[in-house]
Amino acid sequence: MGLERPEPGTEVVSSARRPTWSSSTRDPFTGPPEDIAATRALQTFVDGVRVHAAPDA
């Protein structure tokens, strides 16, 4: 049993028994710095519960 990698475009915020993570429209760590502001959060989960969902998520 190993660790599973997140889907492309998904960044893991932390790892715990109840996962906390978010998915975004792009990887904010790639590309030019001026494009970071265009990154949108699609979904955010805290302790395994979705606390944010964009209308198009």
Summarised one tens digit per residue, pLDDT across range 6-37 is 666 666 655 556 778 888 898 888 889 999 99
pLDDT score of 56 = 82
| The pLDDT value given to residue 1 | 43
Residue 2 lies in a domain: no
Q: What is the pLDDT of residue 7?
A: 66
Instruction: Assess contact for 20 and 46: CB atoms under 8 A.
Output: yes
At residue 20, the pLDDT reads: 82
Domain with 27 in it: 10-53
The answer to whether position 1 is within a domain reads no
Residue 28 lies in a domain: yes
Buried b / exposed e over 10-34, threshold 16 CB at 10 Å, is eeeeeeeeeebbbbbeeeeeeeeee
What total number of domains does the chain contain? 1
The pLDDT of residue 52 is above 70: yes
**What pTM, to 2 d.p., does this model score?**
0.55
Asked whether residue 14 is domain-assigned, the answer is yes
